[in-house]
């Protein structure tokens, strides 16, 4: 069974920005360690938040960025806008900021908390939900007073509320949960993090393909099969366009694995841009419309912002296979797994399997070959991370043994 640990382990492999890439790195004009979240109010008006109380705003689609006064040096975690004028930011040490002029100026709202806030869901200017470790606080009067609910065993980064009663979060196991009484009690659902709901009834998550509910999470069904990758972030532009960021896996560099776009117009497709730079970590993605979106994170130890102005995720699955030169099959597997390289490897190639608790269950070094066959019959059924280190680079993939 999937565990919460899945979303705490990170890895990196593959290519991301080639000459045909549509994700363009922007110059934020400031030197901060990282940006944590981005919100595209319009295609040209965007707010980014991050380390050391940093708030940046652009009104020209990222050509120039202006730093706004936040009144704090605490790390900021999430930004969300209700309207082009009204927005909120949360951060460490109980920070809650509000703007009523489109992010030009920000005022502090006293939450009575000193915890590091993680999740934010604004229903209207009166109704505010904020989550942090195993706790949910709620204000129904614009932040003047707060109610605290214990959320034991909850994965507190993910909350979405649609009115005073109905909202979604996730348990520590990673499974989706729903409240119909404003956060007092929660019912576990079959979905999995990360998730995204367009409204109180229609929502999505990804697990070897995209799953959708139209009845508020009571039932999820596959609308298309795809790659077996773990997501750290997902956003639905509408019912037919979904974007996500892959979670890292297990090589310990703590960085992103890639970007995915899922389209379900006439046919279901997943297009992927892979990340092969251990200095890049993409933490948040947001789109203003079907065409224009932004990503916030860091690169080379500094906060970084990327923009896509075409709605195209250039590098598809076929190009990925051609570039990384490694094929793994079958997956899922029962008795054996084959690993093929596009050329004979003259240097040592190390192959390992790691389970989702972080325990290495298999490791072996090979030389002078272009195909490896590994007996998996003795491995317990479950999800593993296959890692290959060779002269062609480092490669990782989720595999299933059944």
What is the C-alpha separation between 156 and 186, in angstroms, rounded?
13
Q: Which residue has the tokens 């605490």?
A: 74
Nearest one of 147, 148, 118, 144 to 133, comparing CA atoms: 118
What is the Cα–Cα distance from 141 to 131, expressed in whole angstroms?
Answer: 17
Task: From the options 2.60.120.1440, 3.40.1280.10, 3.90.930.12, 2.60.40.3080, give the CATH code of 325-401.
Answer: 2.60.40.3080
Domain 4-319 identical in fold to domain 325-401 = no
Which residue matches tokens 């007996």? 375
Task: Render each residue's pLDDT in the chain as its tens digit; 402 residues.
Answer: 333 333 333 333 333 333 345 899 999 999 999 999 999 999 999 999 999 999 999 999 999 999 999 999 999 999 999 999 999 999 999 999 999 999 999 999 999 999 999 999 999 999 999 999 999 999 999 999 999 999 888 877 889 999 999 999 998 878 899 999 999 999 999 888 999 999 999 999 998 899 999 999 999 999 998 887 788 899 999 999 999 998 865 334 557 778 999 999 888 998 888 776 778 889 999 999 999 999 999 998 899 999 999 998 853 333 334 335 677 888 778 889 988 877 666 567 888 888 766 678 899 988 877 888 999 988 888 778 787 877 656 676 778 887
Question: What are the residue boundaries of the structural domains of the chain, listed by start?
Answer: 4-319, 325-401
Instruction: Tell whether omega for the bond before 332 is within 30 degrees of 0, i.e. cis.
Output: yes
Contact at 8 Å (CB) between 230 and 249?
A: yes
Neighbours of 368 (CB within 10 A): 10
Name the architecture of domain 4-319.
7 Propeller (2.130)
Which of helix, strand or coil describes residue 194? coil
Residue 262: which of 317, 309, 214 has the closest Cα? 317
DSSP-based three-state secondary structure for 399: strand
- In 3D space, the residue among 183, 258, 306 whose CA is nearest the CA of residue 16 turns out to be 258
- What is the distance in angstroms between the CA of the first residue and the CA of the last residue of the chain? 12
Cis omega (within 30 of 0) on the bond before 194? Answer: yes
């Amino acid at each position: 069974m999937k565990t919460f640990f899945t979303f705490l382990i990170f890895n990196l492999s593959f290519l991301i920005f080639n000459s045909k890439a549509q994700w363009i790195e922007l110059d934020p004009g400031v030197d901060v360690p990282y940006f944590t979240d981005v919100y595209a109010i319009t295609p040209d008006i965007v707010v980014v938040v991050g380390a050391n109380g940093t708030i940046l705003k652009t009104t020209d689609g990222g050509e120039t960025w202006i730093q706004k006064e936040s009144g704090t040096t605490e790390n900021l975690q999430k930004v969300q806008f209700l309207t082009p004028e009204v927005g909120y930011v949360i951060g460490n040490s109980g920070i809650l900021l509000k703007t009523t002029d489109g992010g030009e100026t920000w005022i502090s709202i006293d939450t009575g908390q000193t915890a590091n806030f993680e999740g934010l869901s604004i229903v209207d200017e009166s109704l505010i939900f904020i989550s942090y470790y195993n706790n949910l606080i709620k204000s129904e009067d614009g932040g003047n007073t707060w109610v605290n609910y214990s959320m034991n065993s909850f994965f507190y980064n993910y909350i979405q509320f649609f009115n005073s009663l109905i909202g979604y979060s996730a348990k520590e196991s990673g499974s989706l949960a729903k409240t119909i009484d404003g956060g007092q009690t929660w019912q576990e659902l079959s979905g999995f993090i990360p998730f995204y709901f367009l409204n109180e009834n229609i929502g999505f998550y990804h697990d070897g393909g995209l799953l959708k509910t139209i009845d508020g999470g009571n039932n999820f069904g596959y609308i298309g099969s795809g790659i077996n990758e773990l997501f750290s972030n997902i956003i639905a532009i509408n019912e037919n366009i979904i974007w996500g960021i892959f979670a890292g896996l297990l090589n310990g560099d703590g960085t992103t694995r890639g970007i995915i776009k899922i389209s379900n117009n006439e046919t279901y497709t997943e297009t992927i841009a892979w990340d092969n730079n251990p200095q890049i970590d993409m933490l948040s993605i947001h789109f203003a419309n079907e065409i224009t979106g932004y990503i916030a994170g860091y690169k080379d130890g500094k906060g970084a912002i990327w923009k896509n102005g075409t709605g195209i995720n250039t590098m598809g699955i076929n190009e990925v296979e051609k570039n990384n030169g490694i094929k793994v099959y079958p997956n899922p597997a029962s008795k054996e797994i084959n690993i093929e390289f596009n050329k004979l490897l003259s240097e040592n190639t190390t192959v390992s399997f790691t389970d989702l608790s972080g325990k290495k269950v298999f490791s072996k070094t090979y030389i002078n070959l272009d195909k490896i066959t590994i007996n998996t019959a003795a491995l317990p059924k479950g999800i593993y991370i296959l890692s290959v280190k060779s002269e062609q680079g480092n490669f990782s993939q989720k595999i299933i043994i059944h």
